[in-house]
Structure 1
Amino acid sequence: MDGLRRWWLVALTLAAAVTAQETRTQPLGGGPAGVERLALVPLGGLEAALQPGAGLKVTFQKEGPERRLLALEATPAGDLTFAKALELSYRISGLEPQAARLAVVFHEADGGVRYKLGPAPTIGAPATSRISLAEPREALFSADASGKFETDRIARVWVGLTIDGPAAGTLEITRAVLTNEPYRPTGPLLLDLGKPEQWGISKESGVTAKITCPAEGPAGQPVYRLDFTFPATAHQWVVPSLPWRAENLEGYRALRLTYKVTAPAGPNLLLALAEPDGSTYVIDPPPAISTDWKTIEVPLAQLKLASWTKDEDSSLLLDGVAVQLGIHGQPKPPGAGSLWVAEVALVP
């Protein structure tokens, strides 16, 4: 009996060791915090200087409206395949949050250059943020023969800020480490509902549709409004779509929507996320028709592949998705309706 109990304990211990992932970090630069020997990269369009003294502090000044990069360079040690995010502890002054993004640029040994923008930084107080390293984009000046991100061949890494518009301030980095812990968003990511002309509209022949952005939200705020007319009892549809333009869509758990709708009897709402290749994942069963404002939260894992599309990997990939906010079905009788959407958000 004791022998059996001993083997059971051994098996339990081994199972725990396999399932528990040990956190791994690697300093980006020198020293335990990864900020030693980081060198300021001389790039055009802004003036920057390293300040003497303890720590790593850069002053910068920029006058033009264009986007420029403030970067510090490190030479990483070894294979970076393990890394899922770059974690930065920093303090920034002199910028508006919407005018800056944390950024990392990877220079591969064969000439490939890829970059990833992080979240808008905290301004005016010490903060720690992660930049996801999933699927970085290839830079226009990249000379990558392989066509893929080679994490085992990284020769140099730049870390810093993109800055839009005139600015003058400081960037202080106290810690820069690569980690196998993934990027974790700290709050909802709201879709910018944009302007009516930014939406593409796909619809059945004969259906009329118009998008406006009136101040008709629950708190009097501007909202997405789709007005449509279904002229026949046959299956009718109108599906506007808008790309979700954000650099970091990883790490979110659910899709949240606040909406209301008036419609002829019969049609259902069609609320979906569509990948760039057309693979479309819908909320199924569709949200209830409600003439009062209603907020729903649907786990992304519960979105279903639409029957009229296909996906080779059968999984929703958020990078590059477009949001679809429409309605379809057989109206009985034909008629007009409206769909208002006050908020679309990804939530952690």
Structure 2
Amino acid sequence: MKRCATLCSYYIFGCRLLHSASAMASNVVNSEVIKQCKPLIPELSYTKHKGQSGRVGVFGGSKVFTGAPYFTGISALRTGADLIFVFCVQAAAEPIKSYSPELMVVPYLDVDMPAEEEDVWLKKLHCAVIGPGLGRDQSIINKIKSLIPTLKNVNIPLVLDADGLFVLIQNPTLLNDYSNDVYITPNINEFRILCETFFKGEEYSITDYDTLGPKLSSAIGPRVTILIKGERDIIVRGKTVLNYETTKGSPRRCGGQGDILSGCLGTFAFWATQVEQKDGKDAPQLCAALAASTITRVCNRYAFEDKGRGMITTDMLEKLPMVFDSLFDDKWKYLIDQNKLLLNKK
């Protein structure tokens, strides 16, 4: 990746991306965003076997919060992963199983599982998403903390969202030596709390993302990508900051939208490791975050157009296959006018 200090332009997978506000209409998906993310997408092939496109583990689900891990798991599946494992507390297992037969649900977080059995489960995974519906029971937080060294040995990317970020806030050095990719997805308030944790006693402007983003990324660990959720999603990796609008979502803020994002990101995070190994590119992680942000926003927008104020997160899930095809799989033709993304079958 080449970064220009004076011009807001980046080259990812050889595609030039302009991200200034004047470069695109405020509610249009930029075709360059699509071009740069497409190399992440694995080809569908009759020769592949089950699991090759991704085995994602979701660590979350408590007695109260059973919907979040479902949203994350089913979103990862709808994005294109093959197999989803949900590792939850015992009380959450049956409700999550009842939501979908597609998810493999493992009561784990409050169970003393033998180390050999734990290794069998964890070695299946290509990516771990930690946090959806996790809750803040200290015994569960401690379980997640103790799990990180094992995941490091398995050498898979991590996505931390929601209460997964709380684990990091309690244990700021937890990921200092994590050798694979780490993605965190804080909203504006969670970003503020992370900065307060990592930069105690320092003076800074919480809206100075160009300075704080890279500083926080390097403070957390060596390979950390931050996706700051807000009116504009801001993506940070190392010294690179992508701060621009891809497409507007909607003003509706029902619970569960962030869980969809983390699920999509879990799949893209694994795919990014495959692109890196195959092509030697230096920015697939930025593209993984960018793709997850874009697909979530477009799903949100189209669900809102259908349902309006009554839109709920399951309405967004219904849009995922169509939106993915339209953006990344060329099964649909996308046409852009001044106001909206038009989706037309070829």
By percentage of residues, which structure has more helix?
2
Q: Which bin holds the TM-score, normalised by the shorter protein? A: under 0.3
User: TM-score under structure 1 normalisation?
Assistant: 0.23
User: TM-score under structure 2 normalisation?
Assistant: 0.23
